[in-house]
């Protein structure tokens, strides 16, 4: 019972942290690359590391994975490694910077 309570407390604390979840980050990256490149990317093995709230707005989140996208009739893929700053803009998690 104690393990269940500890697990429940950890989940609640994570939910109350206010930062973006991995699904939020994937959606923000999809929108970011769509706006930047005009193509829709899908992500494979997307791993979100620690998200840290700094002095500036948003959370700096380390991200690794593979991005896939259509280029004409070909499907291309590219390694994605970087730190993206994610913040809520008009209620939606959005990439506001890349480091």
Beta bridge partners of 69: 76
**Sign of the C-alpha dihedral computed for residues 82, 43, 66 and 35 taken in this order:** negative
The total domain count for the chain is 1
Can you give the residue range of the structural domain that contains 84? 19-98
- Average pLDDT for 77-95: 97
Strand, helix or coil at 24?
helix
Q: How far apart are the first and last CA of the chain?
A: 43
**Digit-coded pLDDT (tens) for 3-59:** 544 444 444 444 445 899 999 999 999 999 999 999 999 999 999 999 999 888 999
pTM to 2 decimal places: 0.79
The answer to whether residue 65 scores a pLDDT higher than 60 is: yes
**Averaged pLDDT, 68-78:** 94
Phi-psi region of 4 (alpha: psi -120 to 50; beta: other; left: phi over 0): alpha
* Residue at 55 is within a domain: yes
């Amino acid at each position: 019972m104690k393990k269940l309570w500890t697990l429940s407390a950890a989940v609640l604390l994570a939910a109350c942290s206010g930062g973006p979840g991995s699904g939020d980050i994937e959606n923000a990256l999809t929108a970011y690359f769509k706006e930047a490149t005009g193509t829709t990317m899908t992500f494979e093995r997307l791993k979100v590391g620690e998200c840290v709230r700094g002095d500036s707005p948003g959370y700096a989140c380390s991200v690794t994975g593979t991005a896939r996208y259509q280029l004409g009739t070909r499907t291309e893929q590219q390694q994605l490694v970087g730190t993206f700053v994610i913040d809520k803009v008009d209620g939606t998690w959005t990439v506001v910077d890349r480091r």
